[in-house]
Amino acid sequence: MQDKDAIIAQLTRRVETLLKRIEQLEDEVARLKKDSNNSAKPPSSDIVKPRQSVRKTASKKRKRGGQPGHEKHTRKPFASHEVDHEVEYELTAQEAAGLIALDEWHIVQQVTLPKKLYLVTEHRARKYFDPGTGGIIITPLPDGVKKGGLLGADTTSLAAFMKGGCHMSFSTIQQFFKEVFRLDVSRGMLNKATQKVSASLKPAYQQLAERLPNEAYLGIDETGHKDNGAKYWTWCFQSPDYSLFHIDQSRGSQVLFDMLGQEYEGIIGCDFWGAYRKFTRLTHATVQYCMAHLIREIRFVAEHTNRQLARWGNQLLDRLRALFKTLHRSDELTDAGFARQMCRIKEDFLKQIRRPPDHKLAKTLARRFKDQAAETYFRFLTDPAVEPTNNDTEREIRHTVIDRRITQGTRGNAGMRWCERMWTTIATCKKQDRNVFEFLHDSLLANWTGKTHPAFL
């Protein structure tokens, strides 16, 4: 009898060990399946893109280009005052015999480049001899000429635009100037040009930085940055009127305290990263956690090999699908009907997520929705100014990610400040429907001549 009990006890321990091992392997399999669709990982980290599971049938496949019934879009012709040169073509007298010439023309407008794409201005400052001192006095040059050097304001701004707006390296810009402009410019000179523009953008950038603590709503996100191979972080602070980028060595909450201050009382839209949780816990700020990040985390749970966990995750996804389906139909519903349906779906979701299966992933996710903590995900239901996701901020940060992958980062403080100011200028001008090149040019001229700098606000 003792032998039988001992065998049973031994087998029980063996089963418990195997069950734990199975759970570990399930978690490992789930971790290996993580990608940008079911986690916060960026799309660039996906090793293999899954094929589309649903193939389009031949009957549904449409041809490329304009579709039947779509309005045709053509470019608006140049106005008469924009045309620099006219060339008229007529039939010869023999070809036009028997025809009546009309005062009408078939017009084709063509844009060409002049043979020489730049002007060279030689600024001559007369020298004077002073018999009293025996010295030479040179007539002062204008500030814009003296500070510009070889490259004027427009060519300096062009080099900066190509570097910051077009993700071009100094070698590529150098090649462009040589092959297209037929102008030899060293990479060192191009670097100096970008730093001149960077200095001219400083006042506009500082104005936005000082405005940040007063914003009622900010979308915030961060991504990696390399400076001389060291790990830094690019932070993006996005408001309805502008976007500001800040590069810092820290990804922690101290960056938020430095940029927004201890007294910040607005709403921030962000993911569930610990820096945001700490900042909102220690300040009067409120938060709207990104629903898109939550959906990806729940999708990861729904794809788990543990059936009970996967079933729970799929039930949560069904409720979130219903929530966003109703949100997109808000124009079709009355205010009272919309509020009633969203409240019902929200309560149904909270009821489900607060009853997690016996699994650590489920319990960890469910802890976020205890008591009033649930409102950090559903604040957008009561405040129309708040977005349910942080997608807008993530879109703003794409330009910096592309730039990082092409340029491999920066090489010092001057390079990081250049990136901050240039990325801020590009994103903010886009939001305000302003011309980036013109803003760079105007800022540079103001910096050279001592005039008032253009501002974003």
Q: So what's the pLDDT on residue 41?
A: 59
Max intra-chain CA distance, the chain: 126
| 128, 136 Cβ separation under 8 angstroms | yes
d(C-alpha 295, C-alpha 319), whole Å: 11
- pLDDT reported for residue 33: 65
Q: Which residue(s) pair with 230 in the sheet?
A: 227
Quote the CA–CA distance of 388 and 39 in Å, as a whole number.
17
pLDDT of the chain, 457 residues: tens digit per residue: 567 778 888 888 888 888 778 877 777 776 666 666 666 655 555 544 544 554 444 456 777 877 888 888 888 999 999 999 999 999 999 999 999 999 999 999 999 999 999 999 999 999 999 999 999 999 999 988 999 999 999 999 999 999 999 999 999 999 999 999 999 999 999 999 999 999 999 999 999 999 999 999 999 999 999 999 999 999 999 999 999 999 999 999 999 999 999 999 999 999 999 999 999 999 999 999 999 999 999 999 999 888 999 999 999 999 999 999 998 888 888 988 988 999 999 999 999 999 999 999 999 999 999 877 888 999 998 888 899 999 999 999 999 999 998 988 999 999 999 999 999 999 999 999 999 999 999 999 999 998 999 999 9
Shortest CA distance to 404 belongs to which of 232, 275, 273, 270? 232
What does pTM read for this prediction? 0.84
| pLDDT for 46 | 53
Q: How far apart are the first and last CA of the chain?
A: 87
